[in-house]
């Protein structure tokens, strides 16, 4: 998923978060796609383990990596990729409680913590927009195929 430029810009952002000791996980369709779900998305949703009132800390960090601020919770990386910073996720527990549902996956050439598929589905169901309900179906179809492939005795 993505180009070399995206890997560099996104990688710089994640490295900046890590340098500052800020915990994060990738959520939404980017996280689902990184786990193998067939789908598309235009942005990357990054769940930040900070109170929403600290959004300026994240915006300033993103600016230092070359991003452009578009809104309180949105930046565009140098390569134009939009990143949404999320501080609370509809339908899920607090960040720390959701860590047990995180897996490592490759995104833009880098191993990153991503929210597990069942938790992505739960959040998308709770949000309930048309696109989220489509994503729930895409994830369900992927999980069904994966279970069938994992069934002993199947070729």
- SS3 of 131, please? helix
**How far is residue 43's CA from residue 70's CA, in Å, rounded to a whole number?**
13
d(CA 97, CA 118) in angstroms, rounded, equals 15
Structure confidence at residue 60 (pLDDT): 97
Domain-wise residue ranges, the chain: 4-150
Distance (Å, rounded) from C-alpha 140 to C-alpha 138? 5
Tell me which fold the domain 4-150 belongs to.
Answer: Beta Polymerase; domain 2 (3.30.460)
pTM over 0.75: yes
Low-confidence ranges of the chain (pLDDT < 50): 1-4
Percentage of the chain exceeding pLDDT 90: 88
């Amino acid at each position: 998923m993505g180009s070399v430029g995206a890997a560099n810009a996104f990688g710089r952002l994640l490295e900046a978060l890590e340098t500052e000791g800020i915990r994060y996980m990738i959520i939404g369709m980017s996280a689902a796609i990184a786990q193998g779900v067939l789908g598309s998305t235009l942005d990357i949703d990054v769940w930040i383990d900070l109170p929403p009132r600290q959004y300026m800390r994240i915006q300033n960090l993103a600016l230092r990596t070359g991003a452009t601020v578009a809104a309180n919770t949105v930046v565009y990386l140098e390569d134009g990729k939009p990143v949404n910073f999320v501080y609370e996720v509809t339908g899920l527990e607090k960040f720390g409680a959701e860590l047990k549902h995180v897996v490592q996956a490759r995104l833009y050439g880098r191993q990153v913590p991503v929210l597990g598929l069942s938790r992505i589905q739960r959040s998308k169901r709770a949000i309930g927009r048309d696109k989220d309900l489509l994503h729930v179906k895409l994830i369900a179809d992927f999980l069904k195929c994966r279970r069938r492939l994992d069934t002993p005795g199947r070729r």
